[in-house]
Amino acid sequence: MLTRAQVLDPLVQYRTDEIIVTTMGATRPWGRISDNDLDFASADSAMGHAADLALGIALARADRTVVCLNGDGSMLMTLGTLATVVGSGATNYVLFVMDNGVFEITGHQSVAASGQIDYAAMAQAAGFQRVFFFEDARSYAESVEEILTQPGPTFVHLLVEPGSEGPIARDDREKGRYLRTSLADWSRTFKAALETKDQKQT
């Protein structure tokens, strides 16, 4: 089983210009280690829909790899997204499911059928191009570069230890810059970052 740091640190190491969409338990830890304008925290609306938001971005920006850092509770709420992703034809989409068995930020309630659901098998059955399953840090770290650079859609199921993150708020007490900013203001920052990087590439 991995710690959340063992999941996120290699992503920071190998990331180039990928867009990262976070939600729930991954949002605050990612904001502590990444200060990138191409990070987007989906922590303001209906739980479970970060994967859908990330897909929308991937479809709008087929030139960019979009990574969604999802949890098992969120994934369980929107399993139909797996079919939607495959049906969309998006090849620049990477969906992480960090499976810790609990709804961490709402009070550590148990996720239904925790430990019995094979999310990787679900993604495989839905038709994801590449599917990974990790329960140890070494094999995962050795695969991150491939995960980020090879065509997808890609699904990554990781067994992760429960953390101790509490409810998320957008205010000055948060360490992640994308949480110290209102959703409206950060959306403008995010859009400007995409446009700036586009200009550098032309």
- According to DSSP, the residues that pair with 90 across neighbouring strands are none
The answer to whether 34 touches 61, Cβ cutoff 8 Å, is: no
CA distances, 192 to each of 27, 141, 185 (Å): 21, 31, 11
In the prediction, which pLDDT does 39 show?
94
Burial class (CB in 10 A: 0-12, 13-18, 19+), 191: exposed
pLDDT of residue 169: 64
| pLDDT for the residue 202 | 42
Residues in the chain where the model's pLDDT stays below 70: 44-46, 101-113, 163-175, 197-202
pTM (two decimals): 0.89
Contact 77, 38 (CB under 8 A): no
Determine the pLDDT at residue 130: 97
Angle, vertex CA 109, rays to CA 103 and CA 114, nearest 5: 75
- Domains belonging to the chain, first-starting first, are 4-201 (3.40.50.970)
Residue 30 sits at φ, ψ, to 5 deg, of -65, -40
Query: Residue 167 has what pLDDT?
Result: 60
Query: CB neighbours of 148 closer than 8 A, spacing ≥ 6?
Result: 11, 14, 15, 16, 18, 65, 67, 94
